[in-house]
Amino acid sequence: MLRLFLGLFLVMTVGLVLGLQTVERTFDALLDDQMQSYNREAVRGQAWSLAEQLRDLDGSDRERELEAVRPHYGLGLTLVESRQLSLTDQEKAELAQGLLVIRDKYTQFISRIDEGSQLLSIKLPAEPSLMPFYIAAAYLMIAVMIGFVLMFWVRPHWRDLEKLRLAAERFGDNDLSSRIQLSKRSNIRDLAEHFNLMAARIEGLIANQRELTNAVSHELRTPIARLSFELDQLKQQPDPTQNRELIADMYADLGELEEMVSELLTYASLERGATVISRENIQANSWLDSVVGSVALEAEAAGVQLLIVECQVDEVRIEPRFMARAVINLLRNAIRYADERVEVSLVRTGDHYEVRVNDDGPGVPVDGREKIFEPFSRLDASRDRRTGGFGLGLALVRRVSQSHGGQVEVGDSPWGGASFRMTWAHLD
């Protein structure tokens, strides 16, 4: 606080002094003519009276007369020769016109007495000897008042900044729940709110990373354990036919690992924003046909009828690779749980596109409709791990839709199963 106070105090004090000096000098220059006229008028009567008294006297008599009247005027009165004053042309012109010549910041006035070379010099009384001290004291009082005002102004700012510093320090010491609460009148409230948003975002990212790491390690154990077991069996198995079965199972486990890693890398790149989403204009019918065709064999093997029931869009603007991956995940999820049929449609409502996937499976319980979009999350009821998958597919769908400015949600289909709706914004 001391450093902040001293910095502001010095800046304001020096600025005020410089400002006062600048204003004083500026107005002195601008108002010089008016000030000369004012002071000339103020002294003109005294100068005329003295000149009238001295005009008919010679040099020595003038000096005696001036000596006699000097105590009654309270002014510095002297007789001087014009050649001693080094008069400028302007001053000579002023004297010729009968005007007073003003010098030394309006403290000395020079007047003609007659047509001769002798002039009358009139000086105002000198300022008190303590005037510099008074001026210094006045500036000191101004500085003290500025200091008091600044103290009352700086203290709440310093207090709030100190709270922000301590919150940042706690956050840096791994207290990720550290937040700052300030009064609504605080001038740094917006900064504190941005800090809280940043802290909440970082806390969420770190928690998600930890959860993701734990989930990945857990998910990898199963196929790795199966591979280890199958390798042991392969060493002890003398029958070549059974060897081929074990090798096929091992390839299946490797495929599962590869698919999991691929899903995980895609999800992680979208989660941390490392992937740039570059949209393209795609023919909607052709794109949707190719996406459905990529899972047609899986649907046929599962005994599920997969149909495109509606495509109202001629052209769609998307990142084709990620969006195709998201729709494929939705279709695979529907095929996995459907009894007999899955239907997909692509429509546009206002400024948004929408892909809808309906199935006739058991559906999703209401209390689990948000949870299923979290990574490595599975429900305990009909849609559990016995049906396959890693719990990343729907999380990836949500990330893809969010990266396109949309969202995904699940409800009930017309047949009682699940109805997934993925929407995203239309951008020109």
Asked which of 188, 218, 248 is the last residue of a domain, the reply is 218
Is 146 found in the same domain as 92? no
Beta partners for residue 109, in sequence order: 102, 122
pLDDT for res 379: 61
Is 30 found in the same domain as 169? no
Phi, psi of 103 (to 5 degrees): -135, 170
Domain-located, residue 244: no
pLDDT for res 391: 65
Asked which of 186, 218, 250 is the last residue of a domain, the reply is 218
In sequence order, what E strands does 217-374 have?
A: 280-283, 305-311, 315-318, 341-349, 352-359
pLDDT for res 381: 43
Structure-token match 């790491």, residue found:
213
The tens digit of pLDDT for each residue in 110-122 reads 998 888 888 889 9
Is 421 found in the same domain as 299? yes
Domain-located, residue 269: no
d(CA 333, CA 328): 8
Helix (H) or strand (E) holding 122: strand 118-123
Q: How far is CA 390 from CA 53, 224, 260, 375, 376, in A?
A: 119, 14, 7, 9, 6
Q: How many domains does the chain have?
A: 3
Is 284 found in the same domain as 414? yes
Beta partners for residue 421, in sequence order: 356, 409
The DSSP 8-state label assigned to residue 279 in this structure reads -
Is 415 found in the same domain as 288? yes
Which parts of the chain register pLDDT below 50? 274, 380-388
Tokens at residue 242, please? Answer: 């059974």
| Type of residue found at 137 | A
Asked which of 126, 144, 172 is the last residue of a domain, the reply is 126
Task: Please report, for the chain, how many H helices and E strands are present, in that order.
Answer: 11, 11
Is 152 found in the same domain as 118? no
Question: H-type helices in 237-350, by residue range?
Answer: 240-271, 284-293, 296-301, 320-337
Domain-located, residue 353: yes
Contact 66, 125 (CB under 8 A): no
Residue 384, sorted as left (phi over 0), alpha (psi -120 to 50) or beta, turns out to be beta
Q: Domain of 173?
A: 132-218
d(CA 330, CA 420): 7
The angle subtended at Cα 304 by Cα 300 and Cα 308, nearest 5°, is: 95
d(CA 160, CA 195): 13
Domain-located, residue 250: no
Domain-located, residue 204: yes
Across the beta sheet with 108-112, the strand order is: 76-81, 118-123, 108-112, 101-103
Is 194 found in the same domain as 308? no
Tokens at residue 68, please? Answer: 């006699």
Domain-located, residue 291: yes
Is 35 found in the same domain as 158? no
Identify which of 116, 128, 143 has the alpha carbon closest to the alpha carbon of residue 5: 143
Alpha carbon 347 to chain centroid, angstroms:
38
The tens digit of pLDDT for each residue in 25-35 reads 888 888 888 88
d(CA 334, CA 97): 111
Domain-located, residue 382: yes
Is 404 found in the same domain as 368? yes
Domain-located, residue 236: no
Is 150 found in the same domain as 100? no
Residue 401, CB-side half-sphere exposure with 13 Å CA sphere:
25
Is 142 found in the same domain as 119? no
Identify which of 83, 81, 115, 121 has the alpha carbon closest to the alpha carbon of residue 98: 115
Is 192 found in the same domain as 305? no
